[in-house]
Structure 1
Amino acid sequence: MPEKPNNPFMFWQELKRRKVVRVILGYLATAYIILELISIIAEPFGLPDWTIKLVFVLLCIGFIIAVFLSWIFDITPEGIKKTENIDQKTPKSIQKRGHLNKLIIASLSIAVILLLLNQFRDTTTDRKDNIDADIISIAVLPLINLNHEDDNLEYFSDGVTQEIIDELAKIQSFTITAFSTTYQYKGKDKSRSEIAKELEVKYLIQGSAKIYRDSVWLSIELFNPSTKERVWNGRYNEVLDNAPTLQASIAKQVAHSLDIKLSSAEIKSLEKINTIDGEAFKLFLQAKAEISKLTTEGFNNTRGFLETALKLDPNYAQAHTLMAWNFLLEGAAWSKANNRSASATIELANPHIEKAIELDPKSSDIYLVRGNMHLQYTGLLKQAKKDVDLALKLNSWPKIPTNYCICTVVSTYIALGEYEKASELAKLAKEVDPGNVFIYVDEAIIAMVNGQFPKAQQLLKKAVDIYDIPYFNFYYGMSYYHDNKYGEAIIYLEKAIDDDGVLIALSTAYLSNAHFMLNENVESERYKEELAKRQQSGEHHTNYPMAMISAARNEREETLMWLKKAKENSDWGITRSMWNPLFKSIRNDPEFVEIRNKMLYDEWTNPK
C-alpha cells in the first residue's frame, strides 16, 4: 500500500492518485457553466434576484463535499470504493504528516471558496455602487390633451401621465418626480430648461394623448434640456383594450434609450398588467380625476365609475384600492356632516382592501389605505403602524411617489409620539413630492405639537392659498387657537363648511372654545348646543368634538366620558387625542391612559 506523502511532490502525486485535482477542476468548470446559465435565463424566466446567490451558496457547499468525497472514495469499474489508506504500521510521524495533508486540502478548498466569494462580492458591490452613482432623475410633464373639442377628456391625458410615472418609478435606476409636483406646470409658458432646473431633474418626458372612437393615440418624447437633445420619441396607436399596456412599454423604451439594464424583478413588475379591459382602464382614470376634487360630488362620481369598472374587470386591483380609499375619504369627519358610522365605513372599504391585497400583495398603496382605515376608523394605532411600516418596507415609497396620502404615515407616527420619525418622513415626503399640498398639514401638525404655532400658521396659509377646502381651514384655525389668537381662529374655522353648507363637527367644537376663551358666552353656548343636538340626532363622529369642548372648560369627568364614547364608537379623529394640546392636562390620568392603551395595544378582529 502506498505511503501517504511526506513532501510537496508526493502530496501532489497523492492528490492525482486520488483524483482530487480532477474533481476540483471538473467541479469548478461545471459550477462556472451553471452560474453562467442561471444568469442567462434569469431575466427571460423572471427568476428572483436572489436566485444566483442561492445557487452560488449551494455550489460552494457542494464543492467542499466533492473534495472531501474524492479524497476518501474512488470510482472504479467495480463501483465506488474507498481509496486505499495508509498502512496501520506506517510510522506515526508519517501518519501525522498524513493528517497535515488533510488539513492542507481543507485549507485549499476554503481558499478557493473565499476567492470565488470575494470575486462575487466585489462584482455585486461594484454593480450596486454604479447603480447608486448613476441614478437618473426624470420628470413626466402632463400630457397635452389633443381632444380639443372635449375638455371632459382631460382626465385621460392626466391619468395616462400618472400611469407612466407609476411604471417608470418601478425602475430602481430612476428617480421620478411625482405628478402632484409636475402638474403645476400644466399649461404654463416655461422653457424645458427652466422646468428641469426648478425640478432638479436631468430628463423631461413630454407628449400628447388622444382618444378617437375605440383607439388611443400617444406621442411621447424623452428630452435632455442641458444638451437640448431629443433622446427618444415614440408614437403609439392602439385599440383601447391595449391602452393599459402602453405605459409599461414606454417605461421600457425610456430605460433602453438611457442604456439601463433592467433586472428580472423590474421586468416582471413592468410586465404585470393591471387590467385587460380598456373601458375599465378609462373608467379608472376618470375616477382618479374625480376623487382629487375632494367634494361630495367627486366622491359620488368616483364610486360610480369604479363600480362599473369592477363589473367589467372584478380583478382590477388598482380599482379596488381606489374604491376603498374613496369610502374612507367619504366617511371622514372633516369632509362633511357625516351620517355614516365608522363600522359602516369599514364594512364598505374593507372588502375592497382585502381583495386588492389578494390580487397584488406587494403594492404599498393598499397598505397605506388600510393603515388609514386603522388610524381614522378603528383607532388602533398598533395596526396602523404595522401597515404603514409594511408600506415603507415594500420600497414603493418614499422613492416612488404614491397616489395616496402619505400623511397617513406621518400622522401615525405623530399619534404614537414618535415626533422625530414623523419629522424625518415629512421632510422626505416634501423632497420626493414638493407639490403635494397635504404635506403642509403634516409639517404644521408637527410644528404644533412642538409648540411652534407661528410656523404652523405659515405652512397652513400656503395650503389654504393653494386649495381652499374645509380640511385646511380647520387646521389653519386650530393653529391660531392654540397660539391664543382666538379672533383669527374664528375667521378660518367659520370657513370650514362642507358641500351642503354645514359646519363640520371639529370646527364647531373649536368655534365654541374660541368664543369661550374670549368670554363670548352666548356664541360659545350656541355652537356647543348645536353640536350637542347633532350628536343626539345620531350624527356620527361627534363624541370626540364634544370631548374637545369639555377639555377646553377643564371638565375632567365630561371629557373622559366623551372620549370613552368616541373610542367605543371609533369616532374619526379619536387618535388625535394622543397629541392634541386640548388634552394635555389629562394625559397622565389613569382613565385616559386606559383609553390610550386600547388605541396602542388592542388587536383588530377582521370582520371579513
Structure 2
Amino acid sequence: MPHYPNKFARFWQELKRRKVFGVVGTYTATAYIIIEVVNNLVQSLNLPPWIGPIVVLLLVIGLPLAVIISWIFDFTPQGIKKTESLEEAEKRVIVPKPIKKRLRLSYVLNAALIIAVLILAWPRIFKSDSLKRLASSGEKVAIAVIPFQNMTNDTIWNYSEEAIQMNLISVLSYSGELRVRQKETIDQLISTNGFAEYSSISPRIAGSLSRKLDADIYISGNIQKAGTMMRVDAKLVGTKTMEVLRSFHVEQPVSDNNIIPISDSLGKKILDFLQISKLIKENPDIWRNFRSSTNSPDALRSMIYAARAMVKYNLPSAIKYFEKAIAADSNFIAPMGELAFAYRNSRMVNKALSIEGKLYGKRDQMSPVDQLRADLLHAMFFESIDVQIDLLKQLQENDDQGNYHRILAGNYIVMNQFDKAILEYEKSLEIWRRWGKAFLKGNPAYASLGEAYHRTGQYKKARRIYREAERVNDDHTSIYFSWIIRDQAALALTEGDADRADKYIEKLISVQKENSVSEAGIDAELHKMYRQAGDLDKAEEYLRKALTLEPENPQRLNSVAAFLIVYDRKVEEGLGLIDKALELSPGNGDYLDTKGMGLYKLGKYDEALELLEKARDLKKPLYSHEISSHIEEVKKAIAEQK
C-alpha cells in the first residue's frame, strides 16, 4: 500500500488521480480560444465593446467551478460518475486487462486544442518586425492606404475620406523603397466586402483588407474638427501583428483648400519615419551609441556618414557631415557633441567652444539622460577628471552603455590607474558583445584594452583580445585596424618573437601606405610601436626620421622634444627643439608645457612653474589635466626644497 509521508504529498497525489491538472489545462486552452474568437467577432460585427470583458469575467468565474467539478466527478466510458476516495481505490482489486493500442477521442481533442492555441498565440509571441524588410537591400515594403473616416459629424467632409487617401497614395508612390497599393484595387476590395460606409471599417477589418492586399503595413486614420481647426490623425500599422508602429497628426485651419497640404504633410512624416527606421536598422551601432532623436532622415544619414569618418579618423570629412546633420535638424543633439570634439581634435578651439556653448544652452530642453551627457561634454572641456568620472558613473546608473565605460577607462589611463582602466574596458566590450557584432567593428576599445594588458604584463590576454578584433573586423586594411596590427607587432617584440614582429611591421607599413599615410606618419606609428615594446632607442630613431622628413613641422619638433625630456634621454637637446617649435608657433600652450617640463628636469623649478602656469592660462577656458598635473609636480618639488 502506498505511503504518503505528509498531507501535501497526499493532496498532490489526489490532484493527479482526479485529473484536476488536465482539466485546468484543457479549460485554460479552451478559454483562450473563446476569448480570441470573441475579440474577433466584437470588432468584425461592431458588437458592444463590453462583451469582451464580460466573457473574460465569466471564464474566470468558471475556472474554480471546473476545478471543483473535476475533483468530485470523473468522466468515464460509462458516463459521469462520482470519483471514489483514495482509500476506496486502494481497497478495490484491479484486474489488468490486455492493452489495446487505439486512438482515444481525448487525444484528438487535446491535439486540436494545442494546434488552435499555437495558431492564435504564434503572432503574439513571435512578432515579426514589419519594418525589418526596409533594411534588406533591394527589398521593397508593400503599403496600403485605407480610406480615412470622417468624424466631424458633418457630411460635407465625407469627400475628404477618399481625398486624403488618394493624395497619400500619390505622395508615397514617389518613394522607390515602397510598393503602394493603388486606390482602385483597395476600393474594389472594400466594395466586394460590402462596406458602403467607411466608418464601418474597424481596425480588425482594415487589417483583414491589408492582408488580402498582401501589404506589410497599412495606414488608416480619421478627420476631426474642433472650432476653426481641423485635425487629421493617421496610424502606421503592421499587418501581421496589428501593432501600431507610429502615430501621426496634422492640424490646419478648417478649409477645403487645406486637404492637399494636410495630405502632403502626413505623407512626408510617414516617409521620413520609414527612412529613419531603415537607417537605424542598417546602422544599429551608431543609433544605440548616441540615441538622441531626430525626425529628419537627412540629418540621421549625415550623422551616420560622420560617425563612419570618425572611425577612420578622417576629421575633415567627419566635420563636414556633422555640420550637415545640424543644418538639417538644429535640435539634433548627438552631432553637436561629436562636432565639438572633432573641432577640438582639429585644433579649431574657438569653433569647438562655440558649438559646445550652443549645445549646453539647450540643456533645459533635454531629457535627464541627455542633460547628463551635456554636463559630461561640458566637464570634458572645462572640468577636472574627477568631475568627469563622477558624471560618467551617474550615466552608467541611468543609461549603461559601452561608451561610458570606455571613456571612463581612458580617464583611468591618464591617471595611471591601469587596473581600473582594464576593468572598465572589459565591461565596455561585454556590453557591446551583447548588443551584437555591429558594435564591435571598428571599436577602439580593442586596441586600448590590448595596450593596457601589454603594459601590465598580461600578454596572453592581450593576444586573445587582438584575435577577437581580427574575427569581428572584416576589413583588415583600414586605419583603425592598423592600430591593432601596430599593437600586435609591439607585443611580439616584447615577447622576443622577431619573426612574428617583422610580419606585423611589414603589414603595418603596407596598410598605412594603402591609406595614403605620409612617410613621416608611418615613422611616427613605428615610434609608437617600439615605445610600447620598451625599445626606446628604436622609438627615438623613428621619431627622428619623421622629423627629418618634416623639419619645419612644429608638432614633429614637439614630439621629439617631449620624448627626449620625458624619458631623460637628452633634455637640453629637447629644449632646443622646443624653442624652434615655439618660434614656428608662438604662444602654443602644449609647447610651453613641454619646455616647462624640460626646465623642471634641469632643476630650474621657478622658471618651469612660470612657464607651466602660462601654458595653463593659454589653454583657458579649456582644462588640461596634463598641464595641471605638471604644475602640481613642480609645486611639490619647490615645497620639498624649502
TM-score under structure 2 length normalisation: 0.41
Q: Which has the larger radius of gyration?
A: 2
* Bigger proportion of residues as helix: 2
TM-score under structure 1 length normalisation: 0.43
